[in-house]
């Protein structure tokens, strides 16, 4: 497998993962009744981490490989930029929001911030996939 194909594969994996989180996982989390929030959020945080870490490691590895091995083109930059947007939004907004929700409990403002960040991550992942499709 070459670098461009690897980037396309992980971009597709990431976009599918992110779409599942946006369309299925977060709506179920937000719909938890207040009495189940603490336990539900804690379970979500434990379970999602075993999926997030391998996906983000694969995205980082394929992005780095592609930047080192391929000529710099607009599709490559779009593919990598989309992944960076998603990862940076996770690190700067979503992870801290989850931490706050875990420590302080459910807060409408923090949940809203998390959902906005999630949509930004989805857009980044889809943008990254589009760039990778054009690259290949």
pLDDT of residue 23: 97
Query: What mean pLDDT, rounded, does the chain reach?
Result: 97
Question: How many independent structural domains does the chain possess?
Answer: 1
Contact call for residues 71 and 29 (beta carbons, < 8 A):
no
pTM for the whole structure: 0.94
pLDDT of residue 69: 98
Other CB atoms within 10 A of residue 71 CB? 5
- Residue 99: which domain range? 3-135
Which tens digits make up the pLDDT trace of 10-29? 999 999 999 999 999 999 99
- Measured over the CA atoms of residue 5, residue 6, residue 7 and residue 8, the dihedral's sign is positive
Which tens digits make up the pLDDT trace of 103-120? 999 999 999 999 999 999
pLDDT of residue 127: 98
Q: What percent of the chain clears pLDDT 90, i.e. is strictly above it?
A: 99
């Amino acid at each position: 497998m070459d670098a461009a194909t690897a980037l396309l594969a992980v971009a597709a994996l990431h976009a599918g993962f992110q779409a599942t989180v946006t369309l299925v996982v977060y709506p179920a989390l937000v719909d938890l009744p207040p009495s189940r929030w603490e336990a539900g959020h804690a379970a979500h945080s434990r379970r999602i981490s075993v999926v997030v870490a391998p996906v983000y490691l694969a995205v980082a590895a394929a992005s780095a490989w592609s930047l080192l091995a391929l000529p710099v083109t607009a599709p490559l930059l779009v593919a990598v930029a989309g992944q960076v947007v998603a990862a940076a939004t996770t690190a700067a907004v979503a992870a801290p929001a989850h931490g706050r929700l875990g420590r302080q409990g459910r807060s409408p403002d923090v949940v809203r911030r998390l959902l906005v960040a999630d949509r930004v991550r989805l857009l980044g992942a889809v943008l990254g996939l589009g760039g990778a499709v054009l690259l290949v």
